[in-house]
Structure 1
């Protein structure tokens, strides 16, 4: 039998380890929650397109940005599309390094309004992958996506007719080692 004197430290130790375990699980659980619900504009990743196309287009704007310490020019070849839910689209983005040295960046994105994130399905994307460009180099990247036709049945999204998909390239050169003379 455990005495009262030993019970309190045992309970506090158990609480400590439980909280420690939950702190490590928080990030993957939050990520899973966002991917399942589309919370915060998190888009979905899909392996195949739906079989239904809805003939009521939604206007989608592609906004492109570059972090200030990355000497890149980044733009969508076409920034405004009228998208039919269920139909697959490809958007081409051009990136150019106008700096004097090679540099690397990673693109992240968000969808506005955020309630629409769960209906924006990517079939292929360059985002979250490190891209390295030599000085003066230009590259093209493709986003392949569709809007889930189920959006017309959701009261939060059925009347939305204008969506912004915003991409930002961030420098991934934070981990450069300093040169030793």
Structure 2
């Protein structure tokens, strides 16, 4: 192989490697965020906490929709104050204001971001896509708690308030599958 051939092979291998990294980046980033709570990513729990502390935290709620989604979406309560470790349930209201079925997917985070590792969701509408029929209104629950191990993290001693935010986006891929299946 000539020197030029080796250079071409190295460049093509590097391009293929970079393309593979770009393709894998979203799932690697999502895994990283779920494991570390980075950027306010909340955690999933199979059940509520077995320990409740005296410390209280106020959880505020926020809900928005992205452009292109013909829904209204908002929390049904402004806030809840609960003990760390106590399981709570909050509700969000959504209405499809269009004349066709629309599928939405929610993204979420908490602020301050450093609390993400300790914000545990047991059940949430955000775990699956949501389909709303024309004019349909629904009340969607989220069951959550603040992990008692937050008390062991000195960097979170100042956290007395956490904001849980959701943004719904239109899921056009899911809508295309509905049209293809005839639903």
Same fold flag (TM > 0.5): yes
2:111 aligned residue? 112
User: Once the 2 structures are TM-superposed, how far is the Cα of residue 103 of structure 1 from its aligned partner?
Assistant: 2.7
1:48 aligned residue? 47
2:136 aligned residue? 137
Q: When you count helix as a share of all residues, which structure comes out higher?
A: 2
User: Once the 2 structures are TM-superposed, how far is the Cα of residue 173 of structure 1 from its aligned partner?
Assistant: 4.4
After superposition, the C-alpha distances for 1:62-89 in whole angstroms (9 at most, x for unaligned) are: 1112234433332222221112111111
Q: Normalising by structure 2, what TM-score?
A: 0.82
Aligned-pair Cα RMSD in Å:
2.4
Question: What secondary structure sits across from 1:110 in the alignment?
Answer: strand
Cα distance in 2 between the residues matched to 1:100 and 1:130? 19
Instruction: Say if 1:108 and 1:128, in contact at 8 Å, map to a contact too.
Output: no
2:38 aligned residue? 39
Q: 1:4 to 1:48 in 2, by over 3 A?
A: same
User: Once the 2 structures are TM-superposed, how far is the Cα of residue 145 of structure 1 from its aligned partner?
Assistant: 0.9
| Mapping of residues 73-92 of structure 1, within 5 Å | 73-92=72-91
Count of residue pairs brought into register by the alignment: 176
Cα distance in 1 between the residues matched to 2:152 and 2:27? 29
Q: Which runs of 5+ in 2 are unaligned?
A: none
* Structure index of larger Rg: 1
Cα distance in 1 between the residues matched to 2:87 and 2:105? 24
2:66 aligned residue? 67
Q: Normalising by structure 1, what TM-score?
A: 0.83
Q: 1:19 to 1:96 in 2, by over 3 A?
A: closer
